[in-house]
Structure 1
Amino acid sequence: MASALGMTATLAGCGGSGGSSEVTLKLVAADYGDSKANSSQRYWDKLAKEYEADHPRVRVEVSVYSWTDVDRKVKEMVAADDAPDLAQIGAYADYAAKGELYRVDDLLSIPVQANFVPQLTDAGETDRTQYGMPFASSTRLLFYNKTLFSQAGLTPPQTWSELAADAKALKSEGVKFPYALPLGPEEAQAETMQWLLSGGGGYTDDVGTYSIDSPQNIKTLTWLKDELVGKGLTGPVAPAKLNRADAFSAFTRGDVGMLVGHPTLMQKAAKKGVKFGMVPMPGIDGRAKATMGVADWMMAFRKNGHGKQLGDFLNFVYDDKNVLAFSREYDLLPVTASASEAMAADKNEQDLGPFLDQLPSSVLYPVGKTSWAGISADVKKQIARAVSSGGSPTGVLGKLQITATTQDSAA
């Protein structure tokens, strides 16, 4: 269905009926599947076919790309003056800042707008105007290997000191990665944010100003450096070299005692026969007050001027039936309140319950800042040095803060 990449076609009326036009909406989307059998292309093709059946003058052409390529692909299309009508990708702020996107309230009905989970609505705003529509979300929990914990006589940790003690006991039992700390370039910004939140900090303060070198954040990374990495409790691969995908694979092999994970890890571990449990992230003196939430975004480009058709199609996309179908297919959390309630009430979805419970207290990346993409890239490159031997949490966080402040002011 995605071969034409969506030029708008104006067709002459047939059989003497006055003129009529057929609009083709071009959608570029990310692939959440891990094989051709469960590619997101199948989901979107089915959805487009259902929509077109009731809207014969609208065609929806979908091109699905891997996460490695999709953001770059959309950027190249926009630069070539060939923006898609819709993009379902990882970030929206740069396009919003350049005036290239429709406002959400110009597209969606009021009931659909009001139905988004509040945290996700807030994260979709730039300068108090919503341009990003949340499309998929997840939260994080601490996964632990029940077999390894049982063999070591352990219970899941609720505090940092308990986590360190459990990791020490697991190491003495010969566990390869007592706590897997993936600070490699794949997703270091996520592992870092989860730990910063558990220490009462984060990338920004309560009013949205970067606070990367806050006392709480320095304390968190210092603890990680001294109590986990420095004591050899994070395994044989240095955190700077360990990517999330590799840490997940090690968990599914039974080589990891504990790590932070999202819903898709459940399915991967279950397929490998790993018995696991999940608990909220430990904090300094008890369970962390906040967890990390992640959302991917849908955005509508103004260039082709199909506002009416885009709004109608998007209202269909965000119908509960469709939101739930996508979330269930890929072990993700629904982005609407009503679909979240339906999932929570479904006895067949109870394994996602702990992640749903975390969503109301979740904190998302500051994606509404155009500077965030650059800061996130800097975190990926630099943060592991803060917890390495001879590293300086104060120094690394201080440099990141200077860069963040400078880039935010420029933006």
Structure 2
Amino acid sequence: MTAALAGCGTSSGSGDVTLKLVAADYDVAGGESSKAYWADLVAEFEKTNPGIKVDVQIESWNDVDRKVAEMVKAGKAPDVAQIGAYADYAAADKLYTADQLLSIPVQSNFLAPLVDAGEQKRVQYGLPFVASTRLLFYNKKLFNEAGIKDTPQTWDDLQADAVKLKEQTDAKYPFALPLGPEEAQAETMMWLLSGGEGYVDPVGNYSIGSKTNISTFNWLKTNLVDKELTGPVAPGKLNRKDAFAAFTRGEVGMLNGHPSLMQAAAKAGIDVGTVALPGRAGKAKSTMGVADWIMGFKQNGHRAEVGTFLDFVFSDKNVLDFADQNDLLPSTISASEAMEKDPKHKDLREFLRALPTSELPPVGKTSWAKVSENIKGNIGKAVEPGGSPAIVLERIGRAAATAESAE
């Protein structure tokens, strides 16, 4: 079955309806784990649903969103897509809503922040397939060498610890701050949340250039970057991948990380500690959550069959199997509770506890893709020598408001 799914898409079994599923490949090592996951899931599904076949196409993360977009544009939308974004398709009325697809127990089982992020104009279209959140990672060996006994709880603590790491250890990056174009929008959001605001105001409008957000980046520039506590690479040039690699080499004292870094660091022999992101005067009110999405397209009219399939996808066993396989977090309440109780996942408990109160980027806005690209390309300038957080954030904020008004 795994071999059969390795091509552009195959079907298995026999039945009255064939669903087309396009899904992303999560196997960063280039293996077959994602293909095997879907092969096993589909085989089990078809046993109990003989009237429905599922034709699976696995694509790399580099290609999957583009491939689905091309299929939709050509009038050949898949029945189900597991990709990175849903907003454009929802706005174009191409998707079934969650309540058109899922049984009530399944729909009510998603974690609340993920439901909110899957909504467009208060209607849920994006079904959260898998999730992640962020914590502050620190190198225990370097902390011991620097004589740091307590984990940082506030920004002042974080700065004081970074100074000790710089002065008393050989850490190249006391605090690694990846504001390079790979994922600057995520690092930025973590800091804005820890400063008390975020990308949007309480009614959902962009507030990137707010006084609170400018104050956050002023602190960051003055107290970390200008004091040379962020390492030899300028934050605007440092990508997340490179920061994570430096952490696994033992060169980073602290950075903001996600669950997958735990395993990579452990394999490299790094003794890792994690703690909730510090805020201005204590623990940040929330941290950033992330979700990937699965959705049902209306074009082929297979609403009932898609719903039956997705109810099966979101069973505890399937949700846990995928999260476990990829060092990610379940998107459902029941699977999260099961994972937290499982001793083998004790390293993920802090992440699991952070997820229910996390805040996700405004992925329900069709303007978000453009705004995110603007942040990636320009936020690093806010902390450059002579840079102005106010000018940079206000400029990004004005562009975001213009993009939002065009939605």
The TM-score normalised by the length of structure 2 is 0.96
- Is the aligned partner of 1:74 residue 2:54? no
- Is the aligned partner of 1:96 residue 2:90? yes
CA distance in 1, matches of 2:234, 2:8: 46
Q: CA deviation at 1:51?
A: 0.8
Q: CA deviation at 1:290?
A: 0.9
CA distance in 2, matches of 1:301, 1:6: 19
Give the corresponding residue for 1:156.
151
Query: What is the CA deviation profile of residues 336-370 of structure 1, one whole-angstrom value per residue up to 9, with x for unaligned ones?
Result: 11111111111221111100110122000111111
CA distance in 1, matches of 2:132, 2:341: 18
Give the corresponding residue for 1:107.
101
- Is the aligned partner of 1:35 residue 2:29? yes
Judge conservation of contact 1:134–1:295 (CA < 8 Å) in 2.
yes
Which residue identity does 1:157 align to in structure 2?
A: P
Give the corresponding residue for 1:349.
345
SS in 2 for 1:63: strand
SS in 2 for 1:291: coil
- Is the aligned partner of 1:275 residue 2:262? no
SS in 1 for 2:72: helix
Aligned Cα root-mean-square deviation (Å): 1.6
Moved more, 89-98 or 55-64: 55-64
Q: CA deviation at 1:132?
A: 0.4
- Is the aligned partner of 1:250 residue 2:246? yes
Q: CA deviation at 1:35?
A: 2.2
- Is the aligned partner of 1:86 residue 2:86? no
Q: CA deviation at 1:306?
A: 1.0
Moved more, 259-268 or 34-43: 34-43
Q: CA deviation at 1:32?
A: 1.5
Alignment of 1:2-401 (within 5 A): 2=5, 3=7, 5=9, 22-37=16-31, 39-154=33-148, 155-172=150-167, 173-401=169-397
Q: CA deviation at 1:214?
A: 0.9
SS in 2 for 1:232: coil
State the 4+ residue runs in structure 1 displaced beyond 6 angstroms. 6-9
Judge conservation of contact 2:11–2:53 (CA < 8 Å) in 1.
no
SS in 2 for 1:37: coil
Number of aligned residue pairs: give it: 401
Unaligned runs of at least 5 residues, structure 1: 12-20
CA distance in 2, matches of 1:207, 1:37: 43
Which residue identity does 2:309 align to in structure 1?
A: F
Judge conservation of contact 1:324–1:339 (CA < 8 Å) in 2.
yes
Judge conservation of contact 2:11–2:54 (CA < 8 Å) in 1.
no
Judge conservation of contact 1:93–1:370 (CA < 8 Å) in 2.
yes
SS in 2 for 1:364: coil
SS in 1 for 2:283: coil
The TM-score normalised by the length of structure 1 is 0.95
Unaligned runs of at least 5 residues, structure 2: none
CA distance in 2, matches of 1:38, 1:202: 38
CA distance in 2, matches of 1:353, 1:200: 24
Q: CA deviation at 1:289?
A: 1.1
CA distance in 2, matches of 1:92, 1:4: 22
Give the corresponding residue for 2:399.
403
Structure 1 vs Structure 2: percent identity of aligned residues? Answer: 59
CA distance in 2, matches of 1:262, 1:410: 33
SS in 2 for 1:236: coil
